[in-house]
């Protein structure tokens, strides 16, 4: 029988190997972004950038900064709209328990199953009739339709674990339902707020289907369309293409690292009953 130390070392080795395999595409993306264009077809390719160049990053910063700014605007707008809509909805379902809450929960689950391309086609007809095609705030509304159902379920699960005594105490002190929500429930729901904000931002930041369908010709296009157009126009400039992918990945990766502790607590809320 193997000792616990041996099993721990084996599990560590397996974990390191699996992590390296999963992260290798990310490493290769960075490696190619630093590879000079005349070394791109070298056989075998260099596993390390022996002669690194930042010309790809310079080209990307010259061309893609407007797209990055638009994606940031859309991402933050989606976060704000999602939290504003899903937090009160989650509180209502968790603590006020209105009639038909079970049906609403089922509808939220069904909404998560609808393919994005189906929703995009529906939005295309609606946006065309309303004359709001090719607008950044139209993309915020579209992206929020994916994030709000998820956010509502997360807030419902998290707020269900808040003691009823805390809410009763607020009512005894004369707080209204809205005051109880904003001053008592929402502050203690920080983990859920961070979790919902992170996922809604990532969905908006990485969205391509809605952007390509609803904002294909606008002046303020997100970074996903910027990458798509850049690849189409410069399909031989692989270092610049990979540099675009690296730069577009930095905000999402930074947010994941900074918020991972809150996300772990937020997504597991409600999983264990007292």
Residue ranges of domains in the chain: 1-53, 58-267
C-alpha distance from residue 263 to each of 41, 90, 192, 269 (Å): 42, 17, 7, 10
Q: What is the pLDDT of residue 274?
A: 42
Q: How far apart are CA 140 and CA 6, in angstroms?
A: 52
Q: What is the pLDDT of residue 82?
A: 95
Q: What is the pLDDT of residue 64?
A: 81
Q: How far apart are CA 150 and CA 88, in angstroms?
A: 13
Q: What is the pLDDT of residue 272?
A: 42
Which tokens belong to 62?
Answer: 């010259």
State the fold for domain 58-267. MetI-like fold (1.10.3720)
Which tokens belong to 96?
Answer: 């006020």
Q: What is the pLDDT of residue 43?
A: 77
CA 263 to chain centre: 12
Q: How far apart are CA 130 and CA 212, in angstroms?
A: 18
- Nearest in space to 261 (alpha carbons), one of 181, 198, 179, 188: 198
Q: What is the pLDDT of residue 148?
A: 92
185: DSSP letter: I
- Nearest in space to 213 (alpha carbons), one of 199, 201, 225: 225
Q: How far apart are CA 215 and CA 80, in angstroms?
A: 21
Provide the H-helix boundaries in the chain.
Answer: 4-33, 55-91, 101-113, 116-130, 136-160, 164-172, 177-180, 186-188, 190-206, 209-214, 223-233, 238-267
Q: What is the pLDDT along the chain (274 residues), one digit of tens a residue?
A: 567 777 888 889 999 999 999 989 889 899 888 888 777 777 787 788 878 888 888 888 888 888 888 899 999 999 999 999 999 999 998 888 888 878 888 888 888 888 888 888 888 888 888 888 888 888 999 999 989 999 999 999 888 888 888 888 888 888 888 898 988 888 888 888 988 999 899 999 989 889 888 876 666 788 888 888 777 655 667 888 888 888 888 888 888 787 777 666 555 554 444 4
State the pTM of this model. Answer: 0.81
Query: Is-contact 213 139, C-beta < 8 A?
Result: no
Q: What is the pLDDT of residue 235?
A: 62
């Amino acid at each position: 029988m193997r000792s616990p130390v041996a099993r721990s070392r084996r599990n560590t080795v397996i974990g390191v190997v699996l992590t390296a395999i999963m992260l290798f595409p990310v490493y290769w993306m960075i490696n190619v972004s630093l590879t000079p264009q005349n070394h791109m077809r070298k056989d075998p390719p260099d596993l390390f950038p022996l002669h690194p160049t930042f010309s790809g990053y310079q080209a990307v910063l010259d061309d893609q900064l407007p797209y990055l700014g638009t994606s940031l605007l859309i991402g933050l707008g989606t976060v704000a709209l999602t939290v504003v809509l899903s937090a009160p909805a989650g509180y209502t379902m968790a603590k006020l328990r209105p009639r038909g809450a079970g049906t609403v929960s089922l509808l939220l689950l069904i909404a998560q199953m609808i393919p994005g391309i189906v929703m995009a086609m529906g939005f295309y007809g609606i946006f065309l009739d309303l004359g709001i095609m090719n607008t950044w705030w139209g993309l915020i509304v579209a992206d929020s339709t994916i994030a709000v159902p998820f956010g509502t379920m997360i807030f419902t699960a998290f707020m269900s674990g808040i003691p009823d005594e805390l809410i009763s105490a607020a009512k005894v002190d004369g707080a209204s339902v809205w005051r109880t929500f904003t001053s008592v429930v929402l502050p203690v729901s920080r983990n859920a707020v961070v979790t919902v904000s992170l996922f809604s931002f990532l969905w908006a930041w990485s969205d391509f289907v809605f952007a390509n369908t609803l904002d294909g010709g606008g002046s303020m296009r997100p970074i996903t369309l910027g990458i798509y157009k850049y690849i189409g126009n410069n399909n031989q400039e692989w270092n610049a293409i990979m540099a675009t992918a690296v730069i577009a990945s930095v905000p999402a990766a930074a947010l994941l690292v900074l918020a991972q502790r809150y996300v772990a607590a937020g997504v597991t809320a409600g999983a264990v009953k007292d």
